[in-house]
Structure 1
Amino acid sequence: MADGAATFVLIHGGGSTSWDWHLVEPVLRELGHEVIAVDLPIEDAANGVSEYADAVVAACEGRPNLAVVAHSWGGLVAPIVCSRVESELLVLVTAMVPAPGEPPNDWWAATGFSDLQFPEVEDAFYNGVPAALAEECTARGREQTGERDGEPSPLKAWPEVPTRFLLCRDDLFFPPLFMRGVVRDRLGFAPDEIDGGHMIALARPRELAERLHRYWAELPR
C-alpha cells in the first residue's frame, strides 16, 4: 500500500450486494488505493444495523487509513462503523442520513420522504445505467428482511470523522431538492453534487471514484 493511500471501505445499499461497486473498485486501485467492498448480512432476520456495522468492522480489521463510503440505505450503517473503528473519512453517496438513536423504519417519515410525490417513471433507481448492468444488479439483489428495523439505532452521536455528502443531480429516488434539505438539517452543511442518478456507481464509476480520491487527497495531513 503506497504512502498516503486510503483503504476505501464500500457499503452497498438496501437489498443489494458489494457487486454494486465492481466498476468503482478498479479505478480506486488504479489511483493507488486499497478497496474492501462488504456484503452486509441482510438476509438473516436476526441481524439489524448494529450487526451490519459489525460485519464491516470485521472486514476492515487491521487495515490502515480507512475511508468509509456508503450508498443509499448503507448510510444508516456507515456512521455506526465509524464510531467503532478508527476512520479518516466518511462519505455518504446519495445516502440516508440517520439521526442518533433513530430506528431505520422511522427515517422515511421523519425526513419527509414519505410525503414526497414522485413522477411516474419506469425505474427510479437505474436512470442513466446501461440496461445490461441494471438487469444484472436486479438479478443479484437479495432479500433484506428488515425484521429489526423498528429498533433504535445504536448510534449515540455523529462520529468525529470528516464527513462528505455527495448528492446525485439526476437522482429520481432521493430527489436533489429533498436531499439538500436532509443534509442541511441533519449534517449542518450543504452537500457536494455530481451528475448521475441513484445508482451512480454503475452509471458513472470513474467520476465517482475520482471524486472519492479527491476527498481523500484534500484531507489535511
Structure 2
Amino acid sequence: MSYDPPRPSGRLLLTPEDKDAPARVRRLRRLGLGERAEPVFDAFAARLAEVAAAPYSKVTFIGEEQQFFAGLHTPDRGGLAAGGATTEDGDARPVGRRMGREYGFCPHVVVRRKALVLEDVRDYPRFAGNPLVDEIGVRSYLGAPLIDSTGIALGTICVEDVEPRPWGKAGLETIKSMAAELAGQLERREGDPGF
C-alpha cells in the first residue's frame, strides 16, 4: 500500500483503499446496522472499556465514506468528551457518532482484516499524522475486526487511550475474543429483527 500525494491541507491521505466497501455496505443494510446508535452496542462498548480499563471504546461500522459509532463509551461530563477534544475556548467538545474514513484507525483494521495494536501511535509514521492524534489526543489504540460468517469485515471494536499504553498479549487476546463474541451476536441479528 502506498501513500497518496499530499492533500491541499498539507496532510497525507493515509486511509487504505477499501475494495470490500460496497459489499460491506450492502451487508450492513441487510442487518440494519450502521445508521443508528443502539443501547446494546453502547452497553457493549461500556463493558469493553471496563475490561480494558480504557477511557474510550467503540463499536464501529465502516461505510464507503464514513465510520459510524453504533456503540460509544467516553469519559463523559454532561455529554462532553473529557480530555483531548477541545474547542478554541478550551472547552471539551462532544464526541459524535459519525466520522470520515480518513480519521482514526478502524478503517485500517477493516481493510487488514486483523487486529491492530498501537502502543504509542506516534511511533508509527503512517498513524502519527492521523487527525485523531492531534485533534482528539489519542495516543494508543487496540482494535479488532468484526468478521461475520459471510467473511465480510463489517466494522471493528476498539479501545483508545490518551496516554501510551502497553496493551500486551492479554489485551490483544481480549479484544479478539470480544470481537468474536459481538460478531456472533450480529449473526443472530439476521434471524431476529428484535435483537
Asked if Structure 1 and Structure 2 have the same fold, meaning a TM-score greater than 0.5 normalized by the shorter chain, the answer is: no
TM-score with structure 1 length normalisation?
0.24
- Structure with greater strand percent: 2
